Homo-oligomer: A and B are copies of this chain.
């Protein structure tokens, strides 16, 4: 498995896209690529409808800012590489590929060029996912590799599946999204997807309440913003949400389970939660641990 490859592609209508996908090495020049139903998937489906392969380049060994940007999904027209430039406070230097019409970061240690073939699918998986349990096998599209470039003594960067780097890259981009959503219903101070929740399933949110009931509305907003979230805890802004003991202290001393708990049964949950039910449905809980 290649786990840290940033896949770059282009679309006439939506521009450039950069995103991270796990890539299963099937043979010397064939990779299976896991495509969730997000931007690159849409690029690929569009190409497939036209009966064409989708050209891509896979860059490995990059600055964390680029990895983080590629992990971010905002809107289909959004160019993730420009976010990387902003984060690094300087323009990102790009170079042309050799067999595909795509630019890749100049600093890449390794670049794999190729195309995702239309109308072809093969088994991809099993893969150890962020919850430390195996994701199911799925029929996924295939990349035919057309060229490989690398630096001398190239450093191969591997993301340890279910390791902290893996979790951070998945979870961190959700936090501003949740922040923005909760901000619409009350004053939010900060958002944290916790380590214990695999940076994905559990969130803690500090708010400064404006009116009674704000804790509950913050729960609703957070669950709406990050649909994979299973449990969320709302605390006052005097609580340091990055110290899980402080968060637990708020639950111990400001929360009453009959009034301050929201239970939503049978919602769509994360496929990464091994305890979820049929069709990955789950029960979501929200804890309003603000002072009343």
Contacts and interface: CB of A to CB of B under 8 A. Distances in A.
A195 interface: yes
Nearest to A185: B227
A259 B255 contact: no
Contacts of A198: 249, 252-253
Given A224-B224, A224-B225, A231 B252 contact: yes
Interface centre among A197, A198, A257, A281 (most CB of B within 10 A): A257
A133 interface: yes
B258 A283 contact: yes
A202 interface: yes
Interface in A234-275: 244-249, 251-269, 273-275
14 contacts: A184-B227, A185-B224, A195-B245, A197-B249, A213-B267, A213-B268, A219-B264, A220-B264, A223-B224, A252-B273, A253-B273, A256-B282, A258-B283, A262-B264
B213 A266 contact: yes
A279 interface: yes
Interface of A: 131-133, 181, 184-185, 194-198, 201-202, 211-214, 216-217, 219-221, 223-225, 227, 230-231, 244-249, 251-269, 273-285, 288, 292
Contacts of A275: 253-256, 292
Given A195-B245, A197-B248, A224-B224, A256 B277 contact: yes
A143 B181 CA distance: 34
Contacts of A251: 196, 202, 231
What is the interface of chain A mostly: helix, strand, loop, or mixed? mixed
B224 A194 contact: no
A282 B213 contact: yes
Nearest to A214: B268
Nearest to A276: B256
A244 B285 CA distance: 19
A213 B281 contact: yes
Contacts of A211: 268, 279-280
